[in-house]
Amino acid sequence: MDFKLLNTDPKSSARTGELTTDHGKIQTPIFMPVGTLGSVKGVHQRELRDDINAEIILGNTYHLYLRPGLDVLEKAGGLHKFNGWERPILTDSGGFQVFSLAENRKLTEEGAMFRSHIDGSKHFFTPENVMDTQRTIGADIIMAFDECPPGTSTYEYSKNSLELTQRWLERCVKRFDETEPKYGYSQTLFPIVQGCVYNDLRIKAAEHAASLNREGYAIGGLAVGEPVEDMYSMIEVVNEVLPKDKPRYLMGVGTPVNILEAISRGVDMFDCVMPTRNGRNGMIFTSEGTINIKNKKWYDDFSPIDPNGTSYVDQNYSKAYVRHLIHSGELLGSQICSIHNLAFYLWLVREAREHINAGTFASWKEIMVKKLATRL
């Protein structure tokens, strides 16, 4: 993998870059739609590619390991062949999901024991087997196995947790470097910087991750219950330490406003379930503000769902129609809102890139943040 830094905004830490993988190039800052089980919920691959123009999507190790399982993924020749997505894929390591979804989990130095949320079966994840699993899934970018403590954790808990995550990270790096990709294209491993809301822990974590000299880095453990101002200041602290010439990925964030604030603090990559999860319930993000399409006020509004929108669904369906679909529990309503929201997130990062390249990002961001915070 290769990362080229292209331009830096004169009035903030925002940057544009180009990431090259064996499955194609990614322009940064980028938003990555979440396809937990190898599918972006309600959106098929042609819509993702042609309508939304997604440059990279996510998969999740915890979910894919449980279903369909490594046997099927290996026989398929990896996730790209299995799901028919030919552009880049990133997989999260499963650390976060083990702690948020699995039952009866038990953490030891060796790894995490847990019971499947599907059938209660018992499993054990270690840094080593999570690397092997991500080799088998075959994503272009794979993530280290980490513990993500809640944003309200004490200093003592966060410090011990970080030290465990750092020991796990070293084991991940060792295993990753000792093994080869399975399908003929290269893979790269991103460390995850933890440390909760504590400056010194974050600095220590970022220095340790940077010393491992990888091709990119992730910031984890944010948007997990801490105040939003703490999230922004932790991003600043970490990005001061991480190398400027490598991509930075902020995991699981966030609202359109969160994304612009993080871009202005030097983040390059994002993922979040919000555009699809909230979309399925009729929440629509637009450049003029957020719409809850279920509200009565839209019942006879026949204007397009987003007149400024870039995707097919924006011009071709009215608010009243989509409100009717969501109200009636029709699948198409969830699909339309998901496609719209993803296209909007991809539009937002594309605009951000254009403004960074033009040197006008900081002033554009101020205006956009005000509009985006509006409830229509």
> Smallest distance, Å, CB 324 to ligand PRF?
34
Q: Which of these segments, 24-32, 221-229, 255-263, 304-312, binds ligand PRF (CB under 6 A)?
A: 221-229
**Which of 17, 59, 195, 220 is close enough to bind ligand PRF by CB under 6 A?**
220
CA distance 186 to 206: 25
271 is annotated as an active-site residue: yes
Q: Which residue among the candidates 51, 92, 306, 314 is catalytic per the annotation?
A: 92
Ranges within 129-168 binding ligand PRF (CB under 6 A): 143, 146, 148
CA distance 321 to 302: 8
For 226, the token pair is 């801490």
Taking the least distance from each CB to ligand PRF, the nearer of 152 and 374 is 152
> Smallest distance, Å, CB 18 to ligand PRF?
24
Taking the least distance from each CB to ligand PRF, the nearer of 130 and 339 is 130
50 is annotated as an active-site residue: no
**Which of 9, 47, 51, 92 is close enough to bind ligand PRF by CB under 6 A?**
92
> Smallest distance, Å, CB 192 to ligand PRF?
5
Binding residues for ligand PRF, total number by CB under 6 A? 15
> Smallest distance, Å, CB 99 to ligand PRF?
9
Query: x/- binding map, residues 55-84, to ligand PRF, per CB under 6 A?
Result: ------------------------------
> Smallest distance, Å, CB 153 to ligand PRF?
12
For 355, the token pair is 């403004």
* CA within 13 Å, CB half, 226: 25
Answer yes or no: are the C-beta atoms of 219 and 250 closer than 8 Å. Answer: yes
Taking the least distance from each CB to ligand PRF, the nearer of 141 and 326 is 141
Other CB atoms closer than 10 Å to residue 120's CB: what's the count? 9
Q: Which residue among the candidates 51, 140, 268, 271 is catalytic per the annotation?
A: 271
CA distance 202 to 74: 37
Answer yes or no: are the C-beta atoms of 27 and 18 closer than 8 Å. Answer: yes
**Which of 251, 260, 305, 346 is close enough to bind ligand PRF by CB under 6 A?**
251
**Which of 52, 173, 192, 267 is close enough to bind ligand PRF by CB under 6 A?**
192
Q: Which of these segments, 20-28, 30-38, 90-98, 123-131, binds ligand PRF (CB under 6 A)?
A: 90-98
**Which of 54, 223, 235, 242 is close enough to bind ligand PRF by CB under 6 A?**
223
CA distance 203 to 162: 11
> Smallest distance, Å, CB 263 to ligand PRF?
16
Residues annotated within a binding site: 92-96, 146, 194, 221
Compute φ and ψ for 298, nearest 5 degrees: -95, 5
Taking the least distance from each CB to ligand PRF, the nearer of 220 and 256 is 220
> Residue 224, interface with ligand PRF (CB under 6 A)?
yes
Q: Which of these segments, 41-49, 217-225, 276-284, 359-367, binds ligand PRF (CB under 6 A)?
A: 217-225
Residues annotated within a binding site for substrate: 92-96, 146, 194, 221
CA torsion through residues 164, 37, 272, 143, sign: positive
> Smallest distance, Å, CB 224 to ligand PRF?
5
Write out the residues near ligand PRF by the rule CB under 6 A.
92-93, 95-96, 143, 146, 148, 192, 220-224, 251-252
* Residues acting as catalytic residues: 92, 271
